[in-house]
Structure 1
Amino acid sequence: MYNDEHNLYHYTYRKDGSEAEAHSAPQPGPVQDHNSGPQQPVQEMKPVKKNRIGLKVTALALCCALLGGAVGGGIVWGVGRSGDETSVNVSGRTVSQVALKTVDGKTAMSDAEVYAANVNSVVSINVTGTNSNNFFGQPVQTASSGSGFILTTDGYIVTNYHVVEDAQTVKVTLYNGDEYDAQYVGGDEDYDIAVIKIEASGLQAVTLGDSEKLNVGDRVLAIGNPLGDLTFSMSGGMVSSVNRTINVDGTPFNMIQTDTSINPGNSGGPLLNSYGEVVGIVSAKYSSYGSSGESVEGLGFAIPINDVISMIQDIMTNGYVSNKAYLGATIGTLTSGMAQQYRYDISQGAFV
């Protein structure tokens, strides 16, 4: 639909076939064409008598030709033009129904089959929070959106930490339109993973794959909600690199690099292989690079599922990652008594 006021394409329809505006009848007299030579006399067009027998025969022959072409799988549309015939081939192919296959890790699937098998396991996530203040120092409510995928049939959902960070409310929408209020279970900022939970049962969960088996050039697909509005969109590409280390806000990440189209709103959604298995969590995209802000294309990244699945299970159990390595130290001030007790040669300084 064109709303441009300079649009020259205008269409008017009436039931009786007439135009909307009445046009005055042409005035008698010859029509002058200033761009051509002397005008030729206008020849009066006389009505042609219809040969009804010939018309019936022609119509019958045309019907037979059309039926014969359609039986062959398509229709050939013949257009007579100055003795020549221009043929337009119109396909008679019917739309085939996408077969709903079960993800078993053994059967390769078409892109359409991967989408049909997983779209009911992908969710849209909408978040509100108050992590900023206005000019007067008053808290300002913010809104953002992302994606996620159902990990268990009883409502545990995986997404990115940055999608639900500082959230006050988290709402989840399924492909069938059902909406749920979600509770934040826990997450890990360093690995940009989080788990949320909705109160539901009998949900369709994804099947996890082995990200270590990915090769450069393998086909991968992403399902999510780009821009927060284009819900449950799928994009496809290839694995551009495996074990790619990138720096996100000062933190190094081991990533799957892909040229699959990834945009804001895709964060937290699944990256799927050609067997319909989740092999990564869509996390980041480079849109510019370097101090000059050079524009780049086809640089998307996903967290390998093998790197974080144990942490996800830990979050589901404990609410946080409990098995992260850390260095414990207690620092105090060394006194002469402590130096004598521990037989140090010094009597002042820091005691660790």
Structure 2
Amino acid sequence: MLFHTISSGISPVTARLRMTRLAGALLLGAALATGPAHFAEARGAPESFADLAEQISPAVVNITTSSVVETATTEAPELPEGLQDFFDQFENGPGGPSGPRRSEALGSGFVISEDGYIVTNNHVIEGTDEIEVEFFSHKRLPAKLVGRDPKTDIALLKVESEEPLSFVNFGNSDLTRVGDWVMAMGNPLGQGFSVSAGIVSARGRELQGTYDDFIQTDAAINKGNSGGPLFNMDGQVIGVNTAILSPTGGSIGIGFSMASNVVSKVVDQLREFGETRRGWLGVRIQDVTPDVAEAMGLGEGTAGALVTDVPDGPAKDAGLMAGDVITGFNGQTIKDVHDLTRRVADAPIGEEVPLEIVREGKSETLQVKLGRREEAEAVEEAVAKPGADMPAEVELLGLTVQPISPEIAQQLNLPEDAEGLVVTKVDATSEAYTKGLREGDVITEAGQQKVATLKDLRDRVSEAKDAGRKSILLLIRREGDPRFVALSVE
């Protein structure tokens, strides 16, 4: 199965550019969303969607984008399985035009204010130089880009109109329940305004984005629906159609819409600043799994985000340390990594917030002043992969390890004074292999204590056994990225 976004390309060039850019990741296509229920009691199936469709139609728009692209005369790139038939419908045959040409693509959107602010998907307008909006009345207006957020695939446009425009409001997507009726409207396959209805199939879906919170629906969504709204039965937008799960690029009843409670925050920032301004804590984290909790001596059912590394930044300034478990943020309980990431992103920049942690079995509260994520992000240099000709020293926990030497440090692109044990071999039948450990990984801690020698590791394993622990927690670094892994000592 492939994920597709759903802009509808008029031009073969646009279709190829958009598809190949995201091939192997979230491919261009469509998505649907689900609507929140505002009442505790269940609602029966509506007798008709006609009144609702008539109410919201004036605020839904078709979006046409245009850009100048270079057509290639070389052989087309290999396409992911399931996409070739789509491209065959649009591809120029032998002897087709080459050189610069203008291409167009279609998408959907919706008006959120009478003065002309319009929400759509970022992939609908990305890389374009002209944007035109068509209203339900067939009126057409040029639009300018106010701001965009690739992380949530949201963009904000603005049109100038001599008269106030019809608009729709965001609803509270957190009130959405599985089984609620929803209605989608957009421009599928360039056919113009079209309505489809269905129910919310699931909530809280994650595809591959850091801030994903998708509503899954079975309402029919196809290419060209990208950026269109998903409504609840009160006519409120509770999602923005973004992607579908499909082997062919067409709707099979599994669509995804970014939840309105995520979208509305992004839109507010784009409207005010022209860009996003997310909070930044400055830690690397992973989920607290049952085996990690046991290895750390935490209580059964402990949830939160386990800190694996604390580089320079707000968290380090606040005193956070690797091995701490973040259980609360700004007065709200943290369930997992995704939960913490979203809450930090939504928190105010430059203000102190309380951070509840568990350190060595004891609860503490730290005060942290958040930075801005956009300013902190930087592209990390790739780390060369280690060679495979390193001699083995000792076998333990299904691993063959040896201390880091200056030669190994250079080979792994580590600091000259780096300490730890490098993994030179992993038993393919071992628990360590099953949990993802591989040659070239570096063990820097065991049992939440630093290890620099083989004796250090043996001692930590013995201590875990003597304490009656079933497993030991290792801190592993791979190409600079740290994570905790719990391995059985029995």
* Structure showing greater Rg: 1
Partner of 1:286, secondary structure, is strand
* Matched-pair contact (CA < 8 Å) for 1:187–1:195: yes
1:94-125 alpha-carbon deviations (Å, 9 max, x no partner): xxxxxxxxxxx78x875111111100000010
Is contact 1:255–1:301 with CA below 8 Å preserved after alignment? yes
Q: Is the 8 A contact 2:223 2:250 kept in 1?
A: no
CA RMSD of aligned residues (A): 3.0
Tell whether 2:178 aligns with 1:178.
no
Which amino acid is the alignment partner of residue 66 of structure 2?
Answer: T
Q: How many residues of Structure 1 are paired with residues of Structure 2 in the alignment?
A: 224
Alignment match of 1:126 (pick from 44, 54, 64): 64
Deviation string, structure 1 residues 296-329 (Cα, Å, up to 9, x no partner)? 7211110001012111111111111123532367
The share of aligned pairs that are identical, in percent, is 36
The one-letter amino acid paired with 2:196 is: S
The CA deviation string for residues 232-285 of structure 1, in whole angstroms up to 9 with x for no partner, is 1100000000001123xx767321000000001111111001111110001111
Q: Which residue of structure 2 lines up, in the alignment, with residue 256 of structure 1?
A: 215
Q: 1:318 to 1:236 in 2, by over 3 A?
A: same
Aligned partner of 2:53 among 101, 107, 115: 115
Question: Aligned to 1:218, which of 146, 170, 180?
Answer: 180
Would you say the 8 A contact 2:63–2:134 is kept in 1?
yes
Give 1:321's aligned amino acid.
Answer: T
- CA shift in 2, pair 1:120/1:298, >3 Å: same
Q: Is the 1:219–1:237 Cα contact (8 Å) retained in structure 2?
A: yes
Residue of structure 2 in register with 1:208 after alignment? 170
Alpha-carbon spacing, 1:324–1:181, altered in 2? closer, same or farther (3 Å): farther
Indicate if the aligned counterparts of 1:134 and 1:140 stay in contact, CA closer than 8 A.
Answer: no
One-letter identity of the residue aligned with 1:215: R
Distance 1:324 1:142, change over 3 A: farther
Tell me how far apart the structure 2 counterparts of residues 148 and 236 of structure 1 sit (CA, whole Å).
17
Greater CA drift, 153-162 or 192-201: 192-201
Q: 1:141 aligns with which of 92, 102, 123?
A: 102
Which 10-residue stretch deviates more, 260-269 or 296-305?
296-305
2:246 is matched with: 287
Equivalent residue runs for 1:17-166 within 5 Å? 110-135=48-73, 138-166=99-127
Match of 1:168 in 2: 129
- SS of the counterpart of 1:246? coil
The 5 A counterparts of 1:327-338 are 327=376
TM-score, scaled to structure 2: 0.42
Would the aligned equivalents of 1:128 and 1:144 in 2 still touch at CA under 8 Å?
yes
Supply the distance in 1 between the matched residues of 2:379 and 2:201 (Cα, whole angstroms). 46
Query: Whole-Å Cα distance in 2 between the matches of residues 330 and 295 of structure 1?
Result: 35
Q: Decide whether the 8 Å contact of 1:219 with 1:274 is kept in 2.
A: yes
- One-letter code aligned to 2:156: V
Q: 1:328 to 1:139 in 2, by over 3 A?
A: same
The TM-score normalised by the length of structure 1 is 0.58
Counterpart for residue 271 of structure 1: 230
Q: Give the letter for the 2:58 counterpart.
A: N
Cα deviation digits, residues 180-229 of structure 1 (max 9, x gap): 01111110111100011100141011021110011111000001010012
Distance 1:216-1:143 versus aligned 2 partners, 3 A rule? same
Q: Which amino acid aligns with 1:254?
A: D
